[in-house]
């Protein structure tokens, strides 16, 4: 079992202390990433998906505190590593990040190629010319002409900068690449080119990818398995096909209703009433309860545990046994808006 | 009669070189042709979607429709009256009739105004009604967008969620009782679960209050859901227009085909096979006279970069594509 899992995270929680109290941005999240898979994490703004990744990579801001019962990477307990050791041994070498708004993550006063060369030389003792060769190869992998190494970031379009950041994330052959909203803000044809490239890279380099996005369509197309986050928790996890064809959680059902599709034009869209929780202070019960049309007295009082409802399919909902009824009712607008 | 007509409308911006550039390198003034010879009509009660990637000229087109930007050439006709020739009192009236809903509800609301101040600002500025009447109209409008006045009247924007803010934006446009609403990406800053509600609200209100709408977005999935007709733009040129069903299910222009097949579908079993379009959209700085997609188009020949086919104004409601090689492309496809 441990052999197939590249990364295992158990009970990760993150709190940010603010003037209004502690914000529980991520609470009690557990997940595994297998070898050679794309693991998607989807959720709306404020659901904790980016915080989760920052905590995992020890990149939290000063007011953030994370705890976890265990985090293992390639069988090694990395949770016990000091921050310095983690940065030296893991970050970029074994787990790399394509940050959100990667387009603005390049230093404007250095040539793009030099920035990638420096990233390699900071972690590996190789000569400049060896590093340069490596960068030429990486530029080729992501579909940039090697001549562009001498360009400055402002000479690149958004899509080209995104490619450069992906090249940098591949620089040290990591086993896991985390991509945080890699195509948000890009035009649809550029998004298509980037996603195609990511698929090709994955086939070539056999890294695993954690893909984080709010775009349900992108995650459906790219992922092998998907976790849906709401209010700092994972509410449902399944293979991509199970999640879309037999969803259990009312939030997943609601998201499916709300997301427009170009292939099914006449479908009526149904929004989820209400707004996401503020996550300040102690919670009791299910966080989706105030917006959920199926909630009963238990939901407001008792936090739902994760239930296994199929092979590789977990859901945190008290009413998971009533799923047939829930699915039928959830497709009607009157269920959500009366 | 069309409510709004754009005849051969272009908008160019000059790109003047700096002193150093001019003296040392002999730099010449270049021209950004943001919108080039657009023909377009919007009928009463219809929702026209305008789609295209960044830099395609969709926002510039909106600004010209709303009278915020004069066209460099061509004419914008509103109810057969040229907007450029309107007298100042006609213009005031025009500004009431054509309203905009903006993209970013976090930036477009004055943070120091209460919700009631924001929504009543327009009617006050144009002195549409007396003070009592304004209050009544504003309260009714707020209720109409799902923000009951009793609860929201004295709220400030920072106390509202993104969805609520966009409802305020919609209310302040619709309180003017417009005939045409120009909505420029009104959903792009909102979360998925909220979007459908705002989209429904716009559709519902456009039916109730009988206004036409130009809905601009880069998101074809949303346009497929809200628009009656669809105009596709590329680098300032109109490349295809038609009913939303025709354009999305049966796209003709090579750019439209590529664009539509590149839209991801929320279904893991769907395997799309988009054509490989190379390169990225550039800027329309001193562009060649022909079709601006020609340099990336797999079907382009010599004529494409020399002559651009404009969409036909005489049949504004037909499904048309601005492409020389439609027949060849069709025969290749079958």
**Do A188 and B262 make contact, defined as CB atoms within 8 angstroms?**
yes
Question: Is pLDDT at B333 greater than 70 in this prediction?
Answer: no
- A93-129 pLDDT tens trace: 999 999 887 667 889 999 999 999 998 998 888 999 9
What are the Cα distances from residue B285, in Å, to B80, B237, B309? 32, 13, 20
Tens-place pLDDT, residues A5-29 = 899 999 999 999 988 888 999 999 9
- What digits encode the pLDDT tens for the residues A195-217? 988 888 888 887 899 999 999 99
What would the pLDDT profile of B96-139 be if each residue is shown by its tens digit? 999 999 888 888 899 999 999 999 999 999 999 999 999 999 99
Tell me, yes or no, if A195 comes closer than 8 A to chain B by beta carbon: yes
3-state SS of B85-119 is HCCHHHHHHHHHHEEEECCCCCCCCCCCCCHHHHH
Domains and CATH numbers, chain B: 4-333 (3.40.50.300)
Residues A37, A208 contacting (CB under 8 angstroms): yes
CB atoms within 10 A of CB B88: 7
Which of A182, A228, A262 would best serve as a mutation to test chain B binding (most B beta carbons within 10 A)?
A262
Residue found by looking up tokens 């197939």 in the block: A4
Length of chain B, please?
Answer: 334
Query: How far apart are the C-alpha atoms of B42 and B45, rounded to whole Å?
Result: 9
Q: CB distance B264–A215 less than 8 Å? A: yes
Res. B316 pLDDT band, cuts 50 70 90 = low
| Edge-to-edge order in the sheet of strand B229-234 | B98-101, B180-184, B212-217, B47-51, B229-234, B237-243, B320-321
∠ CA A121-A126-A130, nearest 5°, is 100
Residues 6 or more apart whose Cβ sits within 8 Å of residue B62: B50, B100, B182, B184, B214, B216
Across the strands, what pairs with A135? none
Is B191's pLDDT higher than 90? no
Output the average pLDDT for chain A: 90
Which CATH code of 3.40.50.300, 1.10.260.40, 1.10.10.60, 3.30.70.2740 fits the domain covering A5-229?
3.40.50.300
Handedness of CA A63, A68, A70, A71 (dihedral sign): negative
Burial (CB count <10 Å: 0-12, 13-18, 19+), residue B240: buried
Q: Does A190 touch chain B (CB under 8 A)?
A: yes
The kind and range of the H/E element at B9 are strand B4-15
Residue A1 has pLDDT above 60, yes or no: no
**Pairing mode of beta strands A38-42, A208-213:** parallel
The stretches of chain B forming alpha helices (DSSP H) are 19-25, 58-65, 88-97, 115-125, 131-144, 149-152, 162-174, 192-209, 220-226, 244-249, 254-261, 326-333
At A187 the pLDDT is 85
Rounded distance between C-alpha atoms, residue A217 and residue A331, angstroms = 19
> Is residue A65's pLDDT more than 90?
yes
Q: Do residues B190 and B225 touch, judged by C-beta distance below 8 A?
A: no
CB of B91 within 8 A of CB of B54?
no
Decide if B260 and A256 are in contact by the 8 Å CB cutoff. Answer: no
Query: Least CA distance to B260: which residue of chain A?
Result: A262
Residue length, chain A? 338
pLDDT confidence of residue A155: 87
* Residue showing tokens 């002559």: B307
What is the enclosing helix (H) or strand (E) of B82?
strand B81-82
* Cβ–Cβ under 8 Å, residues B189 and B103: yes
> Considering only alpha carbons, which residue of chain B is nearest residue A259?
B192
Chain A residues in contact with B54 (beta carbon < 8 A): 187
Residue tagged 């003792």 (tokens):
A125
Beta carbons within 8 Å of A279's beta carbon, 6+ residues apart: A23, A24, A25, A46, A48, A231, A232, A287
CB contact under 8 A, B225 and A267: yes
CA distance A298 to A262: 38
Which residue of A lies nearest to B221 if distances are taken between CA atoms? A262
Beta pairing, strands A313-315 & B4-15: unpaired
Answer yes or no: is pLDDT of A147 > 50: yes
Distance from CA of A49 to the nearest CA of B (A): 14
Side by side, which strands form the sheet with B4-15? B30-42, B4-15, B73-78, B81-82
Rounded CA separation B65/B61 (Å): 6
- Whether chain B has a CB inside 8 Å of the CB on A220: the answer is yes
Searching chain B, which residue's CA lies closest to the CA of residue A256? B266
Q: With a cut of 70, say whether residue A146 has pLDDT above it.
A: yes
Q: B184 pairs with which residues across the strands?
A: B216
| Residue B89 pLDDT > 50 | yes
- Contact with chain B for residue A215, Cβ under 8 A: yes
Chain A hits for B163, Cβ within 8 Å? 275
For B224, the closest of A189, A214, A262 (CB atoms) is A262
- Tokens 């609860």 correspond to B151
Q: How many other C-beta atoms are found inside a 10 Å radius of the C-beta of residue B73?
A: 11
Domains in chain A: boundaries: 5-229, 246-336
Of the candidates B309, B267, B228, which has an alpha carbon nearest to the alpha carbon of residue B49? B228
pLDDT value of residue A184:
81
Over residues A254-258, mean pLDDT: 92
Specify the pLDDT at position A94. Answer: 93
Count, in order, helices (H) and strands (E) of chain B. Answer: 12, 11
Set of chain B residues whose Cβ sits within 8 Å of the Cβ of A269: 195-196, 199-200, 225
Sorting pLDDT into bands at 50, 70 and 90, what band is B277? confident
Say whether residue A206 is in contact with chain B using an 8 A CB cutoff: no
Tokens of residue A278, six digits: 């503020």
Complex ipTM = 0.85
């Amino acid at each position: 079992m441990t052999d197939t899992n590249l990364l295992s995270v158990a009970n990760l929680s993150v709190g940010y202390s603010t003037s209004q109290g502690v914000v529980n941005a991520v609470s009690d999240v557990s997940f595994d990433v297998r070898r050679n898979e794309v693991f998607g994490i989807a959720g709306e703004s404020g659901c904790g998906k980016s915080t989760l990744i920052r905590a995992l990579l020890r990149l939290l801001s000063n007011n953030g505190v994370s705890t976890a019962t265990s985090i293992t990477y390639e069988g090694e307990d990395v949770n016990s590593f000091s921050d310095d050791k983690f940065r030296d041994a893991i970050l970029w070498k074994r787990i790399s990040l394509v940050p959100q708004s990667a387009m603005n993550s390049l230093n404007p006063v250095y040539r793009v190629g030099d920035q990638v060369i420096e990233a390699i030389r900071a972690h590996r003792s190789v000569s400049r010319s060896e590093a340069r060769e490596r960068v030429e190869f990486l530029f080729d992998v992501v579909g940039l002409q090697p001549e562009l190494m001498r360009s400055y970031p402002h000479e690149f379009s958004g899509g080209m900068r995104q490619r450069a950041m992906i090249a940098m994330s591949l620089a040290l052959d990591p086993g896991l690449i985390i991509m945080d909203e890699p195509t948000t803000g890009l035009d649809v044809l550029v998004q298509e080119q980037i996603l195609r490239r990511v698929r090709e890279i994955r086939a070539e380099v056999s890294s695993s990818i954690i893909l984080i996005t709010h775009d349900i369509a992108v995650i459906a197309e790219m992922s092998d398995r998907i976790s849906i986050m709401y209010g700092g928790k994972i509410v449902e996890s399944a293979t991509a096909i199970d999640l879309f064809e037999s969803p259990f959680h009312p939030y997943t059902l609601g998201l499916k209703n709300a997301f427009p599709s170009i292939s099914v034009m006449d479908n009526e869209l149904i929004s989820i009433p209400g707004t996401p929780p503020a996550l300040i202070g102690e919670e009791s019960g299910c966080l989706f309860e105030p917006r959920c049309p199926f909630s009963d007295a238990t939901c407001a009082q008792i936090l739902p545990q994760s239930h296994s409802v199929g092979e590789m399919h977990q859901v945190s909902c008290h009413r998971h046994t009533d799923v047939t009824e829930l699915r039928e009712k959830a497709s009607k607008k009157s269920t959500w808006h009366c | 009669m069309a409510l709004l007509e754009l005849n051969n409308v272009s908008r160019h911006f000059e790109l003047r070189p700096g002193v150093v550039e001019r003296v040392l390198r002999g730099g010449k003034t270049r021209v950004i042709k943001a919108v080039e010879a657009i023909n377009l009509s919007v009928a009463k009660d219809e929702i026209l979607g305008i789609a295209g990637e960044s830099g395609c000229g969709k926002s510039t087109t909106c600004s010209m429709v709303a009278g915020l930007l004069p066209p460099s050439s061509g004419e914008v006709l509103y109810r057969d009256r040229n907007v450029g020739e309107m007298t100042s009192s006609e213009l005031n009236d025009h500004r009431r009739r054509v309203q905009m809903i903006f993209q970013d509800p976090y930036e477009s609301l004055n943070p120091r105004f209460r919700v009631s101040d924001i929504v009543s600002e327009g009617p006050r500025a144009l002195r549409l009604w007396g003070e009592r009447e304004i209050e009544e109209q504003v309260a009714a409008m707020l209720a109409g967008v799902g923000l009951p006045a009793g609860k929201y009247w004295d709220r400030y924007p920072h106390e509202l969620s993104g969805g609520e803010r966009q409802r305020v934006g919609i209310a302040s446009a619709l309180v003017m009782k417009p005939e045409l609403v120009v909505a420029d990406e009104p959903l792009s800053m909102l979360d998925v679960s909220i979007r459908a509600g705002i989209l429904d609200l716009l559709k519902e209100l456009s039916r109730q209050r009988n206004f036409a709408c130009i809905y601009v977005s880069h998101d074809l999935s949303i346009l497929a859901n809200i628009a009656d007709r669809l105009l596709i733009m590329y680098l300032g040129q109109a490349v295809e227009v038609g009913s939303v069903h025709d354009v999305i299910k049966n796209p003709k222009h090579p750019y439209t085909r590529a664009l539509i097949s590149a839209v991801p579908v929320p279904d893991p079993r769907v395997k799309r096979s988009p054509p490989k379009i190379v390169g990225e959209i550039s800027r329309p700085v001193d562009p060649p006279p022909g079709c601006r997609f020609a340099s990336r188009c797999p079907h382009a020949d010599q004529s494409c970069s020399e002559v651009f086919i404009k969409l036909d104004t005489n049949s504004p409601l037909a499904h048309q594509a601005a492409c020389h090689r439609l027949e060849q492309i069709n025969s290749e496809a079958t």
